Structure 1
Amino acid sequence: MDYIRAAEILPQELIEQLQEYVDGAAVYIPKKEEEKKAWGAKTNTKTELARRNERIYTEHLAGTSIKELAREYFLAEKSIQRIVRQERSKRDVTAMEGWKDEY
């Protein structure tokens, strides 16, 4: 977040109106809704985390213990358990949708 001097970009009348509400205080002006980006939209972080979680689930199915996965991925065991549970749930929903379409 950058700070910009109001006097450099705003008309004096607007500055005076703002001073009636927040004289001398810093004010945060949020971006317009249409300019806001979803978390991870600027980077591949969301995709990378999804891939990592899929790998964790696959390794767990192949027999790697929660404890080993936690050590390997530098995560708490509870985090690994949550990831495994979420990945299993995703696959269960996908499987049920496919089953529903067959009938």
Structure 2
Amino acid sequence: MKYTNAKKILPEKLIMEIQQYVQGETIYIPKQEKEYNHWGSLSGGRQWIDHRNAAIRHAFKTKSNIEQLAKDYFLSIETIKKIVYSRNK
């Protein structure tokens, strides 16, 4: 997180207004919701997990058992159950 001195970017009138609520403390101003990226959207991590989960579902439908899938994908049995029994996207 980057810190910026308010005097460098905000008008004096706005600083005076903010000082009525907080003085000498660090405050966090979040991005607007439209600016947020979903987890993994930039790195490709979300796509990788979606692809892996689809492969697990396919293997389960073609007669692989949950215990073997857990070993093959290095995941817990509970995680495999969540993947194969959840609704597909």
TM range (shorter): 0.7 to 0.9
Question: Which has the higher mean CA deviation after the structures are superposed, 74-83 or 23-32?
Answer: 23-32
Note closer, same or farther for the CA distance 1:3–1:79 as it changes in structure 2 (3 Å cut). same
TM-score by length of 2: 0.77
RMSD, aligned CA = 2.1
CA distance in 1, matches of 2:76, 2:59: 16
TM-score by length of 1: 0.69
More helix by share: 1
SS of alignment partner, residue 3 of structure 1: coil
What's the counterpart of residue 29 of structure 1?
29
What's the counterpart of residue 48 of structure 2?
48
| 1:30 counterpart letter in structure 2 | P
- Trace 1:1-103 onto structure 2 (pairs within 5 A): 1-86=1-86, 89-90=87-88
Q: Deviations over 1:63-97 (max 9, x none)?
A: 332222222222221110010012xx439xxxxxx
CA distance in 1, matches of 2:72, 2:20: 57
CA distance in 2, matches of 1:32, 1:61: 42
Gaps of 5+ in 2: none
Q: Deviations over 1:33-79 (max 9, x none)?
A: 33223333323222211110011112223333222222222222111
Identity %: 36
